[in-house]
Structure 1
Amino acid sequence: METYRHNSLVHKQIKEIRLEEIVTMNISAIHSNDNREVTPPMEKKEKQHEYPRRRRRPQQYIDYGHTRFEWIQLVATLTVPIAIAIFTILDSVQQMNQSKNQFNVQLRIAAENRETDLHIASENRQKDLDIASENRWKDYKIAEETRLKDREVADDEQKHSMLIDHQTFLSKLILKEGVHLNNTNYEAARFVARFKTLIAFRQLDPKRKTLLFKSLYVGKLAGRLDEDMAIDLSSADLSNIDFASPRDHIALTPPSSHPYYSVNFSDTNLKNASFNSVSFFNVSFVEAMMDDVIMLSTLTALISFRGASLLRAKFLYSHYININFATAKLDGSFFEHFECDQCSFNFSSLIGIRIQNSKFVNSTFTDTKMDHSFITESEFSNNVNMRNVSLTNSKVHNCTFIDVDMRRCEMHGSSLINSKLIKVNFDECKGLTDEQLRQADTVSESILPNGTVYSSN
């Protein structure tokens, strides 16, 4: 449509130009006729020669058989499609470039999306792996807990069966050999009973150990001092046993709630045992292994720990009367709110012990090693014998010593901060210095290492 309009406009212009030329030619012809003169033939001839030249003047607008307007028309006619073709080509090239750019953008976006998808897929896979691993771990823990519970149940049932079998065996043996296993074949019966009992104590758990011991004690078959016992419990494994309240149950209940009389624990294994809230009278722990034992809120009298191993033992809120700790090993033990009347620690080892808020009356510590100990807020009074005691590098703070015999003691590196020393005999004591005496709160009527009597102001 555009081309058609353009061609019509060109034709119109050409027609107007031709019309002007015709008008001009007519006017020139009229003007020449009006001014025409009679000329001789020669001049006429020359004019005839000139006329054609004037007539040929329009030939200057004709080139190669076409007028300029025709050429313009032709050029205009050809220019439009060429311009359209060029425009079309350029537009196609531009569209191709745009398409190529869009394609590249799409490729980049696709690559980014693919990378994002791969990253998301990798994260999801890792999450799935983590979840699967966590689920496997949970399943493993559940299976392990279930297995442990099943094992505990099976073990508990097995131990219960062992206890029942042992009690059944003892019942049959008693019916056959008498209550005290003293019939005709008593030696063999007692040997078999002891052998089976020691095996049972070794295999049972602490709760059933307690039940078995109590049954033997109440039945007067074992564990007593005052009668001929049918079963000898020496070397029996009573470790971790709870004779009253459990080890982790700290309660200051009255100690008389679980009394034991004339009990024989000699040469038994009582490591990590618990004697909370229990009373003992006339009990023997001679040569027993009692490391890490706990005695909380206990009342004991006429007890012998001679030669026992009581490493790291705890004596808490207890009252002991007439107790023999001679030659016992109590290194690292802890005494708190502990009262001991007529207690003997002669030749025992109490290295690194801790004594706090405790009281020792009429007790003896002859040749006792108490090096590197910490003793605070405690009292040693009423004829306490501490001859040859070793308190090297020990801290004795805020303590009271009244009527104490400490002859030939060793006090190297020890401190007596805020302690009261009343009627204390330090004769021939080694390592006691004036500086240590000045640390004390009170020194009254005490005998110094040189034999002089000293009282501070």
Structure 2
Amino acid sequence: MSELTEIRNHEEIDSIKTKRHKGCLNHPFYDWITLLSTLFVPLVVGILTIVLPLQQQNLSNRQNENSQTIAVHNRLKDMEILHDQQKQTILNTYEQDLCNLIFKYSSINNYNDTNNDGIDDDNDDERVSLVIRTKTLYALRQLDPVRKILLIQLLIDSGIKNRINLSHLDLSSLTFPPGSFYNQLNFVNIIAKNLSFKRIHLYRSNFSYSILDGSSFQQSNCSYADFSYASLQRTDWTNTDVTQVVFNYTNLLGAKITSQQLATVQSLKGATLPNGTIVAI
């Protein structure tokens, strides 16, 4: 019996050893690993063969898009520089033409002073003024806000400003440099909505018949100025000196101006006050 038992034990041990050396489906694990390795490598190569060209194509597309974006940006920048140069050329040309016209005007006046037969002064003055007005309006229509201010300053400095008619001129949304002196400025019958005249000296200036809706005169000196028949709706007069200002028939509807300020003006005849009340004539 002992020998039989020993034989059975040996058979069980051999059976266990055999099972250990066999894998799934009676194949060793080594064979399966070898098979999977053989299949995995071509699979990876195939996937990479498909994926890598797609990635390269996407990268190429992104590079092309970036190149196009940069090209468009550079083009817009070049156009902006070109437009800026054109505006500066217009201003420079206007300045040169103005100097020539002023010199010609002075020469005509000097000639008339030394010749009794002279040319009609009024006709010459009118012709020169008309030419300057035409050139001024043409230049202002094409200039940017900053250069418009420079052109107006040029007119003021040249002394020709009050000799020409600037009526119907559109100066809307301009911002004049704070602290500037524009005393006796003559802006009659102009369009200048949302104009900024903050901390500006406008002593004895004339804005009659002008449209100045939404403009700001904060902390400015507007004493003795004339705003007769002007539209000043929603204008801002905070801390503004309006001593002896003429507001005859002016529309101040919605304007920021105090009753204390209005008490210092010269006249409000027929004016529309901020609250909509019309002053009796």
Scaled by the length of structure 2, what TM-score is found? 0.67
User: 1:319 is matched with which residue?
Assistant: 241
Q: 1:136 to 1:174 in 2, by over 3 A?
A: same
User: 1:350 is matched with which residue?
Assistant: 274
Instruction: Kindly provide the amino acid, as one letter, of the partner of residue 262 in structure 1.
Output: Q
2:75 paired with 1:136: no
2:244 paired with 1:293: no
The Cα offsets for residues 332-371 of structure 1, whole Å up to 9 and x where unpaired, read as 443489844126554326359xxxxxxxxxxxxxx43xxx
Instruction: Kindly provide the amino acid, as one letter, of the partner of residue 84 in structure 2.
Output: D
Q: How far 1:321 sits from its partner (Å)?
A: 0.9
Asked if the contact 2:23–2:29 (Cα under 8 Å) also holds between the matched residues in 1, the reply is: no
Q: How far 1:273 sits from its partner (Å)?
A: 2.2
Q: How far 1:191 sits from its partner (Å)?
A: 1.9
2:178 paired with 1:242: no
User: 2:86 is matched with which residue?
Assistant: 158
Asked if the contact 2:252–2:271 (Cα under 8 Å) also holds between the matched residues in 1, the reply is: no
Q: How does 1:53-452 map to 2 (within 5 A)?
A: 97-99=25-27, 129=58, 133=62, 136=65, 140=69, 142-178=70-106, 182=121, 185-222=124-161, 224=162, 229=163, 231-245=164-178, 257-335=179-257, 339-340=261-262, 341-342=264-265, 344-345=267-268, 346-348=270-272, 350=274, 367-368=277-278
Asked if the contact 2:248–2:271 (Cα under 8 Å) also holds between the matched residues in 1, the reply is: yes
Q: Please tell me the root mean square deviation across aligned C-alpha atoms, in Å.
A: 4.4
Asked if the contact 2:253–2:272 (Cα under 8 Å) also holds between the matched residues in 1, the reply is: no
Asked if the contact 1:180–1:221 (Cα under 8 Å) also holds between the matched residues in 2, the reply is: no
Aligned mates of 1:292, 1:233 — CA distance in 2: 21
- Sequence identity of aligned pairs in percent? 25
Aligned mates of 2:226, 2:245 — CA distance in 1: 6
Which one has the bigger helix percentage?
Answer: 2
Asked if the contact 1:234–1:266 (Cα under 8 Å) also holds between the matched residues in 2, the reply is: yes
Asked if the contact 1:198–1:237 (Cα under 8 Å) also holds between the matched residues in 2, the reply is: no
Aligned mates of 2:229, 2:132 — CA distance in 1: 28
Q: How far 1:126 sits from its partner (Å)?
A: 7.1
Q: How far 1:105 sits from its partner (Å)?
A: 11
Asked if the contact 1:315–1:335 (Cα under 8 Å) also holds between the matched residues in 2, the reply is: yes
Asked if the contact 1:206–1:239 (Cα under 8 Å) also holds between the matched residues in 2, the reply is: no
Asked if the contact 1:241–1:272 (Cα under 8 Å) also holds between the matched residues in 2, the reply is: yes
Q: How far 1:100 sits from its partner (Å)?
A: 10
Structure 1, gaps ≥5 residues long: 1-86, 246-256, 353-366, 369-385, 389-457
- Which structure would you say has the larger Rg? 1
- Count of residue pairs the alignment pairs up: 246
Structure 2, gaps ≥5 residues long: 1-14, 110-120
